[in-house]
Amino acid sequence: MTQQQSSYPLDYTNGPGAAGSQKEREAAQGTMDRMKDAAAAAQEITSKVGEQVREYGERAQDVARNFKPYVEKSMKEQPVWQCSARFGRKHLVCG
């Protein structure tokens, strides 16, 4: 039988990571830097989305506040049961 040898001798006597080359460490560091940059970009986007959601929520509440008097007036003038009787049970649209 022939004895097998690997082309990359590992020396585990110096602790973990001692066998890695400088090139591997630089590649790992570059990957970590890119991951940090991606996380920072994602956090910034999340912050902007949160601000937009709050802004649109406030706008929707303003629209609802402005629309509410018209709905109340319509309900006083024409109750829902009249609407449903007029347009059938499937429709709740006041006309």
Q: Scanning the structure block, which residue is given the tokens 């609802």?
A: 64
pLDDT at 90: 55
pLDDT at 95: 47
22-37, pLDDT tens digit by residue?
A: 888 888 899 999 999 9
69 is a domain residue: yes
pLDDT at 64: 87
28 is a domain residue: yes
1 is a domain residue: no
In terms of phi and psi (left: phi > 0; alpha: psi -120 to 50; beta: otherwise), the region of 16 is beta
**For residue 74, what are the contacts with CB-CB under 8 A and spacing of at least 6?**
94
**For residue 37, what are the contacts with CB-CB under 8 A and spacing of at least 6?**
none
12 is a domain residue: no
Q: Which domain holds residue 31?
A: 20-87
Mean pLDDT of the residues in the chain: 77
Number of domains in the chain: 1
94 is a domain residue: no
pLDDT band of 10, cuts 50, 70, 90:
low
The C-alpha angle 71, 75, 77, rounded to 5 degrees, equals 115
